[in-house]
Amino acid sequence: MQYTDRLQIDEVLVLLEDAIEKKEEQIRRSVFSRPSFSKSSFLLNAEKKIKQSYKVIGFGMVEWQRSIKRAIDAIEQEAKENPQALLKKMALSSFGLGVMMGRHYKNLRMREKK
């Protein structure tokens, strides 16, 4: 079947465009519509495991926060009782951190030169 007339070709192109638009709309509806099936056992098990892990993580966070609060309270108590000892510890730890960072920086500089 050959289309030699310009009007026939245009009519066929319009029909093809309409068919394409209908198919796109059908695909959009099928992709974005909610599934009609119920949740499978796999999805139910996954949801159950996620809820359980949230409970464990939440409990771990609470314990972690408590331990940090206890550590801060202990440091505050020590600072009230003996502030000079705390200053000595902070100075020594700062010195140690400076030495470690200095060595790291020196190693990086040596690698750049190579």
Residue found under tokens 């020196």:
106
Same domain, 73 and 47: yes
Instruction: Tell me which residue of 94, 68, 89 sits closest to 79, measured CA to CA.
Output: 89
Residues 85-94 have a mean pLDDT of 88
Domain shared by 45 and 77, yes or no:
yes
Sorting pLDDT into bands at 50, 70 and 90, what band is 79? confident
State whether 87 and 112 are in the same domain.
yes
pLDDT score of 5 more than 80: no
Let me know whether 48 and 60 are in one domain.
Answer: yes
- Are residues 48 and 61 part of one domain? yes
Looking at the predicted structure, is the pLDDT value of residue 34 above 60? Answer: no
What is the extent of the structural domain holding 50?
Answer: 40-81
75, 86 Cβ separation under 8 angstroms: yes
CA distances from 4 to 10, 11, 12, 14, 19 (A): 11, 12, 12, 16, 22
18 in Cβ contact with 10 (< 8 Å): no
Distance spanning both ends of the chain, measured CA to CA: 75
Which has the closest alpha carbon to 3: 15, 21, 17? 15
What's the pLDDT score for residue 61? 65
pLDDT over threshold 90, residue 90: no
Q: Give the integer Cα–Cα distance in Å for 78 and 93.
A: 16
Q: What share of the chain is helix, strand, coil (3-state, %, to 5)?
A: 85, 0, 15
Is the pTM value of this prediction over 0.85?
no
Segment 17-40 mean pLDDT: 73
Q: Is the same domain home to 77 and 89?
A: no
**Number of domains into which the chain is organized:** 3
- Residue 47 and residue 21 in one domain: no
Note whether 76 and 89 are same-domain residues: no
50 and 67 co-located in one domain: yes
